[in-house]
Amino acid sequence: MRYGSSLLPSLALSLPNNMGSRRWSLLCIALILLVGVSSYEQSMGGSILGWGEQGEGELFAYPRNAPSCPSTDQSLYYLPVIGIVTHPGDGASGRLSNATGVSNIPASYVKFVESAGARVIPLIFNEPEETLREKLSLVNGVLFTGGWAKKGLYYETIKRVFEITLERNDAGDHFPLFAICLGFELLSMIISKDRDICERFQGENQASALYFPDFAEIQGSVFERFPRELLRKLSTDCLAMQNHKFGLSPKRLQDNDALASFFRILTTSKDENDKVYISTAQAYNYPVTAFQWHPEKNAFEWGLSVIPHSEDAVRVTQHVANYFISEARRSLNRPLADKVLDNLIYNYSPTYCGRAGKGYDEVYIFS
Confidence band (pLDDT; 50, 70, 90) for 263?
A: very high
Those residues with Cβ within 8 angstroms of residue 161's Cβ, 6 or more apart along the chain or in another chain:
83, 85, 123, 132, 136, 142, 144
Let me know: does 86 contact 103? Beta carbons within 8 Å: yes
Domain count, the chain: 2
Q: Name residue 224's amino acid.
A: E
Tell me how far CA of residue 360 lies from CA of 161, 180, 353, 355, in angstroms: 25, 15, 7, 9
* Domain identity same for 225 and 317: yes
d(CA 221, CA 218): 5
Q: Could you tell me if 286 and 353 lie in one domain?
A: yes
Same domain, 111 and 157: yes
Nearest 5 degrees, angle CA 142-CA 146-CA 150?
A: 95
pLDDT mean over 135-161:
97
Residues 11 and 123 grouped into a single domain: no
Query: Known catalytic residue: 181?
Result: yes
Please give the DSSP secondary-structure letter assigned to residue 76: S
Question: In this model, does residue 119 exceed pLDDT 70?
Answer: yes
74 in any annotated domain: no
76, part of any domain: no
Q: How confident is the model at residue 9 (pLDDT cuts 50, 70, 90)?
A: very low
Q: Is 319 a catalytic residue?
A: no
Higher pLDDT, 28 or 104: 104
Q: Could you say which of 174, 181, 238, 319 is catalytic?
A: 181
pLDDT score at 14: 47
The single residue of 87, 174, 244, 294 carrying the catalytic annotation is: 294
pLDDT tier at 75, thresholds 50, 70, 90: very high
Three-class secondary structure of residue 93 per DSSP = coil
Residues 44 and 85 occupy one common structural domain: no
Flag the least confident range among 55-59, 98-102, 257-261, 306-310.
55-59
Q: How far apart are CA 325 and CA 319, in angstroms?
A: 10
Q: Give me the domain span that covers residue 5.
A: 1-63
Give the residue with greater pLDDT, 357 vs 189: 189
- Whether 257 is covered by a domain: the verdict is yes
pLDDT-derived band at 15, boundaries 50, 70, 90: very low
Choose among 108, 80, 299: nearest CA to 176. Answer: 80
Mean pLDDT, rounded, for 189-200? 97
pLDDT (0 to 100) of residue 8: 44
Model confidence pTM above 0.85: no
Residues 39 and 153 in one domain: no
pLDDT of the residue at 25: 65
Chain-centroid distance, C-alpha 84: 14
| Beta carbons within 8 Å of 40's beta carbon, 6+ residues apart | 48
Longest CA span, the chain:
104
**Cβ burial, residue 205 (10 Å; 0-12/13-18/19+):** middle
**Contact call for residues 344 and 121 (beta carbons, < 8 A):** yes
